[in-house]
Amino acid sequence: MRHGIVILPDSPWSEAARRWRRAEQLGFDHAWTFDHLMWRTLREHTWFSAIPTLTAAAGVTRRIRLGTLVASPNIRHPLTFAKEVMTLDDISGGRVVCGIGAGAYGFDAEVFGDSPLPVGERHARFKEFTELTDLLLRQSETDYSGAYYRARGAHMAPGCIQRPRVPLAVAAGGPQGMRLAARLAESWITVGLPGLGETARFDEASGLLQDQAKRLDEACGAEGRDPRSLGRTVVAGAQLGGVLSSRDAFETARGMFEDLGFTDMVVFWPRHEEPFQGTEDVLDDIAPLLGAAPDDPEGSGGDPGSRVRPAGGQR
């Protein structure tokens, strides 16, 4: 089991830099930030942009993988987004994971003045977004013509450091999204039951996650893919809460998720208030479970490249 942590972009870099360095020192394998213009109850609070934040994080770390959780067509275009991801991959020395999703209803879906798309159109747009992002990150030149996106002679030089491209991690809860993950991604992401952050304990979701895992296996079968080749990332946030209430809870949750076939578990950096309220002391409590070498104060595990690997592995 690999371990990740989400650090919200809700603090000035003078404060946030410590968290990103600390995440690596604690032994986390990957660290993520939300890619939104505004987010739910924090809409009117301090909120910074994801790619610049990850770029700064790359400068204060040397081993931990860095990712968007998740970028979406609500606010992104594949051409500009892929160029930024390629650049971040270069700056970080090949440590980027490109987390993408369809984009939920809410502020980001409305801020440009458009009406939110119906579910069917939202998936069709996401399918094109993922396909074109995949092609741009793989190829030196891309032409693409779809209903939502087009590219003509789009050049990507020098390309990604990681080959054949930066790994994709696709967030999906429905059958079409799972098939998209099975076809194009290195890892699938679930937050449990999709919703608006309704609180539930992780141990109440075993049946739900088991059902999702079964449907993901079926999606892999439909795409002719070995299900074991697709990484499975569970994000333990509000819908899967309580994971960071104590070291014992963390161990129990990790065991449950691992038994369900997950390869990666992601938690949230504790905040002083909701959402994700908690104490940072618990991070020190769980650090011995994360795998950092005890004699390595930088948390690099020795060789700085020895643990550089995508969540879920390359295909």
Tell me, what amino acid is at 38? M
pLDDT per residue as tens, the chain (315 positions):
999 999 999 999 999 999 999 999 999 999 999 999 998 899 899 999 999 999 999 999 999 999 999 999 999 999 999 999 999 999 999 999 999 999 988 888 889 998 889 999 999 999 999 999 999 999 999 999 999 999 999 999 999 999 999 999 999 999 999 999 999 999 999 999 765 556 788 999 999 999 999 999 999 999 999 999 999 999 998 789 999 999 999 999 999 999 999 999 999 999 999 999 999 999 999 999 997 543 333 333 333 233 334 454 444
Half-sphere exposure of 60 (CA within 13 A, CB side): 19
Calpha distance 22→14 (Å, rounded): 14
Tokens read off for 202: 């992780």
pLDDT of residue 193: 76
Q: What is the 3-state secondary structure (H, E, C) of 168-220?
A: EEEECCCHHHHHHHHHHCCEEEECCCCCCCCCCEHHHCHHHHHHHHHHHHHHH
Alpha carbon separation from 54 to 11, 74, 135 (Å, rounded): 13, 20, 23
108-137 burial by CB neighbour count: b if 16+ within 10 A, else e? bbeeeeeeebeeeebbbbbbbbbbbbbbbb
42 CB burial (10 A radius; 0-12, 13-18, 19+): middle
Cα gap 83→140, rounded to integer Å: 11
Report the largest interatomic distance among the alpha carbons of the chain, rounded to a whole angstrom: 54
Q: Residues 6 or more apart from 67 whose CB is under 8 A from it?
A: 4, 30, 31, 32, 54, 96, 97, 98, 99, 169, 311
Helix (H, G, I), strand (E, B) or coil at 224: coil
Residue 220 contacts residue 230 (beta carbons within 8 Å): yes
Indicate the pTM of the whole model.
Answer: 0.91
**If we measure between CA atoms, which residue out of 284, 297, 217 comes closest to residue 244?**
284
CA 296 – CA 289 distance, rounded (Å): 15
Question: Looking at the domain covering 2-289, what would its CATH class be?
Answer: alpha beta
Which residue's entry shows tokens 């809700």?
Answer: 10
Amino acid letter at 227?
P
Number of residues that make up the chain: 315
8 A C-beta contact, residue 238 and residue 244? no
